[in-house]
Every structure is written in structure tokens, then in C-alpha cells.
A and B are shown apart, each in its own frame.
Chain A
Amino acid sequence: MAEAPGSVGIVAPQTAQFEQGLELACGRRLPRFELIYECYGELNRERSNAVLICHALSGHHHAAGYHNEDERKPGWWDDCIGPGKAIDTNRFHVVSLNNIGGCHGSTGPRSINPETGRVYGPDFPSLRARDWVNSQAMLSDLLGIEQWAAVIGGSLGGMQAMRWALSYPKRVRHCVVIAAALKLSAQNIAFNELARQAILSDPDYQAGHYLDGESIPRKGLALARMIGHITYLSDDAMAEKFGRELRSGTFDQGSESRVEFQVESYLRHQGSVFSENFDANTYLLMTRALDYFDLAREYGDDPVAAFSQAIASFMVISFSSDWRFSSQRSREIVNALIAAGREVSYAEIEADQGHDAFLLPIPRYRDVLSAYMQRVGDGG
């Protein structure tokens, strides 16, 4: 069903071509590329109401609404984007894209390398968050958006939003950073490496050239997702959702039937669905970009010096049970902004859903984001 109240309804993605290519942080050049994106809500005459959504690790351009009548689930952030919702499409022109390196329509490892005529695969250039931001800026130019009313992102998306505020200070009025961090911790990187090794050690990975062969590294990708998924949930959320419920088998003595816990079945299902819809090379590339990210590296490792470059007002949001990007990481962002004398608001939302909370309809989260977007819309 499509026309649910508060939905942007049926939406169609568009594709932008960039023949001029892009110089990447790694020193290589992406010769020409495409970005797939969606827009919701009207751009006003002053072109002052545009909002950019930056997606997280496994996100894409389809953030709100439905692609067709039969689509079962709406876009990944439909809870927050739509008429009358926190990011109100009656007020804002929302742009959501799939980043380069992605696997949902923008140029990525599955695309043909124009220089070789073959699929990029593992040879796709390594990317940094700033490459995404630079390509997003090119899209902004194409759309005639000189300045974003707000750049918004959760998790890896929040990192892009912060990078925007430093790389293009005049082009960002408000920066909304949700469940993010200035850089990953060693534990974060360790989990990412575990996920990468799961993919790399799948025989079907074929050194990344699996698209030339018969099969794709489903098992590796599924396992990578299962690992990631555990870190996105909290202990409490898993206890609440699954407890020690059994899906099959019994603990009865005298029975050898193997038990299967609900949580096992759930994780396998999540992994399996993901492995059908995602690209292994993209996953490797995205997690590496996440690991490399360090907002303050080029500012003498001083986040205060980094944020001194910014002009935007910031809204930072974290979730109490998020241990992947904990509230402490968000407070580091806030404290650096305070010390840099920037405008900043911060809310720590009580929620037991872990890192995943940033995608879920949590009343206080919705209220805080709505209130801040009200300010963005009022030009404050």
C-alpha cells in the first residue's frame, strides 16, 4: 500500500551523470560516475529549503515512500521523512542518494570501469567519507542547491554530515549528527575487520572477482551482516526480542534433537536477506571508509581546531544503549563544538534498542528531531 497518511507516496529514483569524474582522496581518479538519488517535497523559489540525507553503511537512496504499489516496505527512514513527520516534506525538499562505491545504482564495484570495459569488482578505488561528500557537493551543484538548510546523517551518515560542515562550511546551515563519532574505536575497527574476514575467507569471494564466476560469496556476506547486526542491537534489546525462546528442538532429557534459539534463526535470516541484496566488495569498501574516518586527523588531531572551520549549527543525538557509537562518542563531538564556540544542541535519548535506535520510531527522538527541524525551517 502506498498512500498511507504521512507518506511521500510513490517515488521514482533519478540518476545524475558526472562526465567530469572525481579526484579521490586515495590519489586515484574516478573517470566518470553516476549517482542515483530521490527527492521528496518541493524546492522553494529561494532554493533555501533543501535537506540532504547521508546514508549509513548499508543504506541507499530510497529513504522514504514506495517505488511501486506492491513494495512491501517503505524507504529506510520513512519513519522520519514525510508530510508532517520530523523531516517534514511539506516544508523541506529532501534529497537522498546512494553513495559512490554503493551497490544500489550509483557507480560502485558492480559498475563497468570505462577504462578497462570490465566490472570494477575489487579494483574499485578505495574511498573516504570526504569522497562521498565531494560527490554529494557535485550533485548539489547539479541540482542548483547552493546551500543545504540541513545535512543529516546517522552513524556513517553522521560522519559525512560533519565532514560536509568542515569541507563546505558555507554550504551547510545546520548539521544533524545522529549516533556518530569523531572516529572509530579499536573495538569498532575490530568488528569491521571480523566482518571483512568473513567475506574474504568465503571461497566464493574469488579475490573479489566473483561477478565473473558462477556464484557470489553469500555465506561470507551473510556472516559479516550477522556480526554487524549483533553490534547494532543491545543486550537488553536482544533479551526483549528473543530471550532464550526456541524456534525448534527441545531441552527434554532423553531427546537428542538439537535446539535452535530464535536469535540464531533471526540472525541467519537477516544475513541471508542481506547477502542477496548487497555487494561484498561494497561492504569491504564501506567498512574501510568507516575505519579510516577521523574528523580531526588533518587538524593536528584536535577536534576543536577541526570544528573551528565550521559555520553550521549542530544538533547531536545519541542513544543510551548504543555501544557501537556510544553517547560518550557523541559527547566528544559536542564538547569539541562547545570549545570551538560553535552553536550546538545535544540530546541523549533513553532507548534500549542499541545503535539501531536511530532508525526506529522512538517518541522522544522524534520530538527532538522535529523540534530541531522546526528551527531549521524557521531559518533559526
Chain B
Amino acid sequence: MRQDLTHIQQWIVPGSRVLDLGCADGQFLLSLQQKRQVRGLGLEIDPQGITASIAAGLNIVEQDMDDGLANFPDNSFDTVVMAQTLQALHHPHLILEEMLRIGQQGIVTFPNFGHWRCRWYLGTRGRMPVSEFMPYAWFDTPNIHFCTVRDFEALCHERNICILHRHMVGGSGALSNQAARMWPNLFAMTAIYHISR
């Protein structure tokens, strides 16, 4: 499982209700059900992901987050998770608000556009970064709202969103993870935030 997802598990209270926004093939939700006995619901728009999730025995609703989440009542979940999806939304700030209306807590992970490789790529080539991690060309990418660690924290501050925990993933090695924790905006590839009101 991806490093960001492994780390999230410890923040999930056993037996709680979890809404996973953009649950892909449901593997994370499945592991939460198995290891944390959560009552989970996933949202997804990809047909393959939906079928895979249903086959895994999960509850999955086909719904486009860009159409809003108004159909979810206030406080209907304990935790709302959104992994690596923030940057693909039309209105990320509104969805963050919605997450904390629907859930007591939110967990968000996103790729940090402030990572030194992105800056290096843009600085030296003067072109939008394309990497193994972010493989899309600028004109044909689902990622329309990239942000940096600092951008995200500024948004939380502005919107009175409380950051309970944060965790930074620098890469595969211990050294890069240490660097990511010390200088997140420069060395974190993936940022993980545990938020609440």
C-alpha cells in the first residue's frame, strides 16, 4: 500500500464510520474494514474502480465530487478521507469545508508541488514538471489545482481549519523522509494532514 495510506490508518478510530472520497479500487477502505473494523462508504467515478470495490464487498457510490456533497448529512461520518484527490477538484476549498461538515475529522493527502524537484524542473527548464510521480502534460492532466505544503496550511489558517497532525513522506529512503519532516515544503513528496474544526 502507498506510504500515505499506511500512515493514515493509525488516525482511524476502530469501529468508526469512514467516508473515502475518491476510493479508487477500494483497497484502502478494505484494509480499514479489516484492520480497524470501520463502517465504510466510498465515492468514486471510475467504472473499473467501482466494480472492483463492489467485488471487494465494499459499499461504493458513483458520484462526482465536483457536483458537491450536499447529499451527505452533517456529522454523518466520524472521519472523511481524501487521498491524492484534492489537486484534481474544481473547488478544493469547498470540498475541504464539506469534509468537515460531514465528518468530525478529515484526512487529506496531496502531492506537494513545492518539492525541490518540481522547483528544479521549473527553474532549470522553465516548463511544467513532468515526472514518474506526476506523469501528465499540463494540457491533459486531471490535476488542475496543485498546491504546496505552505499553500495548504495557509488555506487551513484562513478557513479556521485545525491541523491535528501532519506527516510528510519524502520518498523511499529514511534520509529523504527525515528531510521531509524537517523541511516539508522543500522535501515532502506527499503531505498528509489530519484536520478538524
- Residues in A lying within 8 Å of B, measured CB to CB: 313, 315, 331, 334-335, 338-339, 341, 343-348, 350, 364, 367-368, 371-372, 374-375, 378, 380
B32 to chain A, nearest CB (A): 15
10 closest Cβ pairs, A-B complex: A380-B57, A371-B55, A371-B54, A335-B71, A346-B61, A375-B57, A367-B51, A345-B60, A347-B62, A343-B59
Residue B54 contacts which of A341, A348, A375 (CB distance < 8 angstroms)?
Answer: A375
Is there contact, CB below 8 Å, between B62 and A348? Answer: yes
Q: Does B183 contact A (CB under 8 A)?
A: no
Does B71 lie within 8 Å of A338, measured CB to CB? yes
Chain B 38-84 residues near chain A, CB threshold 8 A: 41, 47, 50-55, 57-63, 71-73, 76
Between B50, B51, B54, B76, the greatest number of chain A beta carbons within 10 A of the residue's beta carbon is seen for B54
The answer to whether A338 and B76 touch (CB under 8 A), given A345-B60, A346-B61, A347-B50, is yes
A331–B63 alpha-carbon span in the complex (Å): 9
Chain A residue at minimal CB-CB distance from B57:
A380
Instruction: Give every chain A residue within 8 A of B41 (Cβ-Cβ).
Output: 338, 344
Expressed in whole angstroms, the Cα–Cα distance for A380 and B53 within the complex equals: 13
Q: Which residue of B lies closest to A336 (CB)?
A: B71
Q: Among B47, B51, B58, B61, point to the contact of A338 (Cβ < 8 A).
A: B61
Within the assembled complex, what's the spacing in Å between the Cα atoms of A372 and B59? 10
Contact present for A344 and B61 (CB under 8 Å):
yes
Nearest A residue to B70 via CB reads A335
Residues of A within 8 Å of B51, CB to CB, are 347, 364, 367-368, 371
Residue of A nearest to B60 (CB): A345
Contact yes or no, B55 A364, CB < 8 A? no
Q: B76–A375 contact, CB under 8 A? A: no
Q: Which residues of B contact A341 (CB under 8 A)?
A: 76
Complexed CA–CA distance, A339 and B71 (Å): 8
Most chain B C-beta atoms within 10 Å of own C-beta, residue among A313, A339, A371: A371
Scoring B52, B62, B73, B76 by chain A CB atoms within 10 A of each residue's CB, the highest score goes to B62
Contact surface of B with A, Cβ cutoff 8 Å: 41, 47, 50-55, 57-63, 71-73, 76
Q: Which residue of B lies closest to A331 (CB)?
A: B71
Most chain B CB within a 10 A radius of its CB, from A335, A338, A368, A374: A338
Contact of A378 among B52, B57, B59 (CB under 8 A): B57
| Cα separation A379 to B156 with both chains bound (whole Å) | 43
Contact B55 A334 (CB under 8 A): no
Smallest CB separation, A339 vs chain B (Å): 5
Q: B42 — nearest CB in chain A belongs to which residue?
A: A345
Docked-complex contact B55 and A374, CB < 8 angstroms: yes
In the complex, how many angstroms separate the beta carbon of B143 from the nearest chain A beta carbon? Answer: 24
Instruction: Please indicate the chain A residues that have their CB under 8 angstroms from the CB of B63 in the complex.
Output: 346
| Bound: A269/B28 CA distance, A | 53
> Which residues of chain B are near A350, meaning CB under 8 Å?
47
Closest to A372 in B: B54
B31 to chain A, nearest CB (A): 16
A334 CA to B51 CA in the complex, in Å? 17
Chain B residue contacts of A372, Cβ below 8 A: 54
Give Cα distance in the complex from A346 to B51, angstroms: 10
Shortest Cβ distance from A318 into chain B, in angstroms? Answer: 9
Q: How many whole Å from A154's CB to the nearest CB in chain B?
A: 18
List chain B residues, Cβ under 8 A from A375.
54-55, 57
The answer to whether residues A346 and B62 also contact, given A331-B71, A338-B41, A338-B72 and a CB cut-off of 8 A, is yes
Q: A338-B41, A364-B51, A372-B54 are in contact. Are A345 and B59 (CB under 8 A)?
A: yes
Additional A-B contacts beyond A338-B71, A371-B55 (17; CB < 8 A): A315-B54, A331-B71, A344-B59, A346-B60, A346-B62, A347-B50, A347-B62, A348-B62, A350-B47, A364-B51, A368-B51, A368-B54, A371-B52, A374-B55, A375-B54, A375-B57, A380-B57
Give chain B residues whose Cβ lies under 8 Å from the Cβ of A345.
53-54, 58-61
Closest-CB distance, A139 to chain B (whole angstroms): 29
The residue in chain B whose Cβ has the minimal distance to the Cβ of A314 is B59
Q: Which residue of B lies closest to A375 (CB)?
A: B57
**Smallest beta-carbon distance A128→chain B, Å:** 29
